[in-house]
Amino acid sequence: MSLDPALRTRLHRLLADYGAKVRILIDGHGLGQYGIDPADIEQEVRIRLWKALERDRNAAFHTSFIQRVVLTTVIDAIRAANSRPSEPLPEVGFDAGMEFVEPTAGPERNASGLAEFDRIVACMAELPERRRKAVALHLQGFSLREIGTFSGTSEEAARKLLDRGLQMLRESLAGSGIVGDFDD
């Protein structure tokens, strides 16, 4: 493809800006903890998009195409990281609270965390499917609107499912001897 220098510079600039945003998003969503390097992803995305531009300049640069390039790059990188067992996963900054495995904690406490998680999962399994899904999405940090969108219901319906699900879960956990709450 023959591009005039001004256009070439402009396109490079656009892809560079976008790459920087992708990198910020990767960092912001904690994807680095899955063994990927945001800088590598940024570079790879820029290369793939530039090649696509060169291949077919007239191809429409739809949102979905650009998004697919980035997501494919990220997923491929995570897959590659997972296939390298000898390479340790980078350490992540744990937020406040008990973690699944705490290096400073003794084996008893770690085992306790595991046991608690297993009991949470077991109690959640008793919930009706729609409530369980709403509770699980809430625990994964999604908003009521997102829960509604993913579940194909309104925000209000999602709120009801979540309220009832959390109530049932609390009662079930209390019956299992776990006194705790979720950040609701």
Min. distance of Cβ 26 from another protein in angstroms? 7
Segment interacting with another protein (CB under 8 A) among 71-79, 103-111, 156-164: 71-79
**Residues, the chain, total?**
184
CB 81 within 8 A of CB 87: yes
Nearer to another protein, 28 or 106 (CB): 28
Nearest to 136, CA basis, from 153, 146, 126, 124: 124
Q: Which is nearer to another protein, 3 or 157 (CB)?
A: 3
Is position 180 an interface residue for another protein (rule: CB under 8 A)? yes
Smallest distance from the beta carbon of 71 to another protein, in angstroms? 4
90 binds another protein (CB under 8 A): no
43 vs 151, beta carbon nearer another protein: 151
Close Cβ partners of 164 (under 8 Å, ≥ 6 residues apart)? 131
Query: Which of 117, 157, 116 is closest to 133 using CA atoms?
Result: 157
State which of positions 20-49 bind another protein (CB under 8 A): 21-22, 25-26, 28-31, 33-34
For the CB of residue 33, give the shortest distance to another protein in the complex, in Å: 7
Residue ranges of alpha helices (H) inside 29-128 are 38-55, 63-82, 107-125
CB 8 within 8 A of CB 23: no
120 near another protein (CB under 8 A)? yes
Residue with Cβ nearer another protein (159 or 170) = 170
Binding mask 143-172 for another protein (x = CB under 8 A): ---x--xxxx--------------------
* DSSP class of 83: T
Angstrom CA distances, 103 to 10, 87, 94, 113, 150, stand at 49, 19, 11, 13, 36
Should residue 136 be labelled a site residue for another protein when binding is judged by CB under 8 A? Answer: yes
